[in-house]
Structures are given as C-alpha cells and as structure tokens.
Amino acid sequence: MNKRLYRSRSNSRLTGLCGGLAQYFGLDATLVRLLVVIAAFCSFGTVTLIYFVLSLLVPKAPYDDYATMNPYHNY
C-alpha cells in the first residue's frame, strides 16, 4: 500500500498540514502542532514559511479517503 501525505480534513486547525503529518507518521496531532510552534520560534520564522509553502503544495485528503480515515463518520 502506498502511503501518501495529505492535509487532514478531519484533524484541521489552520490548514490541516499538522494533522496530515501526524497521521502520516502515526503521531498525535497536538504533539506535531506543538513541535511546529516551538520550531517556528526557534527558527525565526523559517518554519512558518516552510509550513505555508507545504500547505500550498500538499493536497487535501480526498473525500473517499476521508470517510475511511475518520472512524466517527457514519455513512
């Protein structure tokens, strides 16, 4: 099975990138968000720029994958 990186539709706060990264690597989304915020402060904004560039490049998860990824979805 090919594992692809998508921005999350179900675990999204700003763009869904941290939720997608957390799902891809099997981590908690809150931990990924915390690491991104800490890295953004430590890198003087470089991580923030990378975050927004990746948000433009990484596609949103398809709707059919969203239904299978979200265990609370009822259809």
Among the listed residues 7, 56, 18, the one whose alpha carbon sits nearest the alpha carbon of residue 40:
18
**Is a pLDDT exceeding 90 seen at residue 74?**
no
Q: What is the pLDDT of residue 2?
A: 78
Residues 19-67: pLDDT tens digits? 999 999 999 999 999 999 999 999 998 999 999 999 999 999 888 655 5
Where does the pLDDT of residue 75 fall: very low under 50, low under 70, confident under 90, or very high at 90 and above? very low
Give burial (CB, 10 Å; 0-12/13-18/19+) of 20: buried
Q: What's this model's pTM, rounded to 2 decimal places?
A: 0.78
Q: What is the pLDDT of residue 56?
A: 95
Token pair in block for residue 43: 């890198």
First to last CA, the chain: 24
